[in-house]
């Protein structure tokens, strides 16, 4: 993407699939929570645990990953209205608007753990 029109077009495509993405992320999160809950009730001598290694830290890491994905998704949702506002501006004003309004959100998107 090299022009503001490229970003405007890209965000139009993102917005078109945002609801489906949100639903899939929620479905994945629900499945994760269900599996984690089920795993927390297993005993030490559970047959499922004897068949493979049990890694409790994996549950924690997955929880962190889901949290980061949610943060990025929330930022992406805030970027959409900014791009819409930019689209309504004349070309001569878009660059300044981009630097003042969009780039701070983009920086958050690339560093969500620090947000």
Q: Where are the domains of the chain?
A: 4-114
| Cβ neighbours of residue 32 closer than 8 Å, sequence gap 6 or more | 62, 63, 66
For the chain, the average pLDDT equals 85
Q: 45 versus 68: which is more confidently predicted?
A: 68
**Would you tell me how many other CB atoms lie within 10 Å of the CB of residue 21?**
13
**pTM higher than 0.85, yes or no?**
no
Alpha helices in the chain (DSSP H): 4-40, 47-51, 56-87, 91-97, 103-109
Q: Give the SS3 label for residue 52.
A: coil
SS3 41: coil
């Amino acid at each position: 993407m090299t022009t503001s029109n490229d970003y405007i077009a890209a965000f139009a495509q993102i917005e078109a699939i945002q609801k489906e993405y949100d639903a899939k992320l929620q479905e994945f999160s629900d499945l994760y929570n269900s599996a984690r809950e089920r795993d927390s009730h297993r005993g030490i001598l559970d047959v499922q645990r004897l068949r493979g290694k049990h890694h409790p830290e994996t549950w924690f890491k997955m929880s962190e990953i889901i949290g980061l994905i949610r943060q990025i998704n929330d930022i992406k949702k805030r970027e959409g209205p900014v791009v819409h506002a930019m689209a309504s501006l004349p070309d001569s004003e878009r660059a300044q608007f981009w630097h003042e309004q969009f780039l701070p959100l983009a920086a958050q998107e690339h560093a969500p753990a620090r947000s």
